[in-house]
Structure 1
Amino acid sequence: MKKKRSIKNINFEKIKLSMTPRITAETLLNILSVIAGSFIFAVGINVFMIAGNLGEGGVTGLSIIFLYAFDIPLAISTLILNGILLIIGFRFLSKRAMYYTIFAVILMSFFLGLTESWSIANDEIILNVLFGGLFIGLGNGLVIRIGATTAGSAIIGRIANKYLDMKIANAILLVDLFVILLSLTVLSVQQVLFTMVAMFTAVKVMDFVIEGLNPKKAITIVSSKPEALGTLINSEIGRGVTMVNGQGFYSREQFDILYVVINKSRLVRLKRLIKKYDENAFVVVNDVNSVLGNAFPQ
């Protein structure tokens, strides 16, 4: 017969502390990033895009069409549309991403309402295009960088990826292009073209914010001189190299594969090094969005 555990032995203080949610410094920084990103995004939309009679892609672009056509405030339409998409696609986001996304959607709608009357006197449409794209890209980048989304096209992209086997980026692009074409009902062809330039600027700025000033590259090298190349990369490039055993599918020949992650600035130097010591080496270069830790296997 099992001995019953005495209630006196239970430490209720520890249970209470373990059940209390902990807010870490990283969580606070993430929250600040969402707040800043949402505000900057709203400024880009109201102060530059709408002030220049321009459009946008995704849910915000659709809301701008409603604003121009029916005078429906952006803050209301974006909150409703993003809310519907969140209900439909909540299962496509992780629990953490869902919380941040809901927070970002509410903040964006709030700041869109707050900055609705903001404007800067400007007669040059190109300034609206460039700074609108800059602010939108910066705002979106700050939100997406922490693992959240801005709902809208991002959720549609995930749904298309699951059920239509489309790449998320391609699905988002199609949705944005559809909204831009739809904006021809309220905008001129020239305004739509300016909008596309602003969106291109926003994408480039967003990539810069997410990847950083010096994005990493992952290089896979299949060489007949793996030992020599690995030693040279380690000594001359200053990065650790991982050696993986591989086998040819047809020949069944065993060989070693080198794998290294380096800064983009060192890529040209590495290519020259490989070419100098093994012109027949097979090299594959991939983009790396994030690297955790400073140590690599050597």
Structure 2
Amino acid sequence: MNGIHLPRWLTDTLYATIGILFCGFALKGFLVPNSFFDGGVTGISLLLHELYHFNIAFVIMLANVPFIIMGAYQQGRTFAIKTSIAVLGLGLCLYFIDYPQITSDKLLVSIFGGVFMGIGVGLAIRGGCALDGIEVLALYTGKRVSFTISEIILGINIIIFLIAAFELGLPTALYSILTYYAASRTITFVIEGLEEYTGVTIISGQSELIKEKLVMDLGRGITIYKGERGFLKDSFDVSQPVDIVFTVVTRLELRRLNNIVRRIDPKAFVFTSVIKEAAGGVLKARARH
């Protein structure tokens, strides 16, 4: 029996709406009342709010405008429109919803403020929009300078946290770095989920039996490369043909795969690599992001 498939626009709307509510909860329930910060455009908005006491709802909306314009050129008009609506929704959420302050414990604020912010931003990304324009800026800048996107984002965040350290004290800046780390790790988890895919390459003299077990028992698709094994130091001229097996599994399946291979050939050479995007074949459909 096939599951219920919601229209894409509806799932995108649900992801974005829930993401907005989580971000609002993180900001007004944890970060804003305790003068904490995050990285990116959200961090800039929180810093402006703390230094000049502007309303956080208006600051976040205005701060994202330049990055939405950049996004229209970098990611297309649809992305820019959806992001505009999402940022407007976040501003309205912050202005009209009276979230209670959850705690004033600095450690709890830094960790759970970051976690809830990461959940919100990650869900918005799964919905095809952005609640923080920092990556758009990094993409735009990265085409004009020799730095990577990660280096650009890191540089911008270092400036934010340095200003916070000078204006509000080093402890607040350090706790805010912890908030940013918790948020960034949570974003990755929300986007990738437990089904982050791992590519596995197996080189073994028992490749025929391994292929059968992977397909019939584990239910995975496989790809075979023709290669040669041998070429040892003491017998460099001795080699034999071998089927190199490649497959893609989730993190939850990786241990089971290793156990299957080790039972068949304890000396098999197995190595893995992280796969950021995987679709088609026998893989289940992934969320867009």
TM-score grouping bracket, smaller chain normalisation: 0.7 to 0.9
Q: Supply the RMSD in Å over aligned alpha carbons.
A: 2.9
Name stretches of at least 5 consecutive residues in structure 1 with no aligned partner.
Answer: 1-23
CA contact (8 A) 1:101 1:151 kept: no
Please give the per-residue CA displacement for 1:63-107, whole angstroms capped at 9, x wherever unaligned.
111111111122222222211122234211134433322222222
Count matched residues. Answer: 269
Q: Is the alpha carbon distance of 1:86 and 1:221 closer, same or farther for their aligned partners in structure 2, counting shifts above 3 Å?
A: same
Please give the per-residue CA displacement for 1:250-270, whole angstroms capped at 9, x wherever unaligned.
x9x986442211121221232
CA contact (8 A) 2:37 2:179 kept: no
- Counterpart position of 2:234: none
Matched, 1:98 2:76: no
Aligned match for 2:12, one of 9, 26, 30: 30
- Counterpart position of 1:185: 166
Distance 2:146 2:212 in 1: 42
Q: Percent same amino acid at aligned positions?
A: 23
Paired residue type of 2:267: E
Distance 2:96 2:64 in 1: 18
Distance 2:103 2:273 in 1: 44
Give, in angstroms, the shift of residue 272 of structure 1: 4.1
Name stretches of at least 5 consecutive residues in structure 2 with no aligned partner.
Answer: 1-5, 230-236, 285-289
- Counterpart position of 2:255: 268
- Counterpart position of 1:5: none
Give, in angstroms, the shift of residue 108 of structure 1: 1.9
Distance 2:184 2:217 in 1: 35
CA contact (8 A) 2:261 2:268 kept: no
1:1-298 paired onto structure 2 within 5 Å: 25-115=7-97, 118-120=99-101, 122-245=103-226, 256-275=243-262, 276-277=264-265, 279=267, 281=269, 283-292=271-280, 294=282
Distance 1:165 1:147 in 2: 28
> Larger deviation: 218-227 or 190-199?
218-227
CA contact (8 A) 2:12 2:128 kept: no
Distance 1:144 1:170 in 2: 21
Distance 1:264 1:170 in 2: 28
CA contact (8 A) 1:133 1:198 kept: yes
Please give the per-residue CA displacement for 1:160-184, whole angstroms capped at 9, x wherever unaligned.
3323354433432332232122222
Question: Structure 1 length as normaliser, TM-score?
Answer: 0.78
CA contact (8 A) 1:51 1:119 kept: no
Give, in angstroms, the shift of residue 194 of structure 1: 1.2
> Larger deviation: 101-110 or 189-198?
101-110
Pair member with larger Rg = 1
Please give the per-residue CA displacement for 1:107-150, whole angstroms capped at 9, x wherever unaligned.
222222224x5432634222322321121011001011233222
Give, in angstroms, the shift of residue 44 of structure 1: 0.6
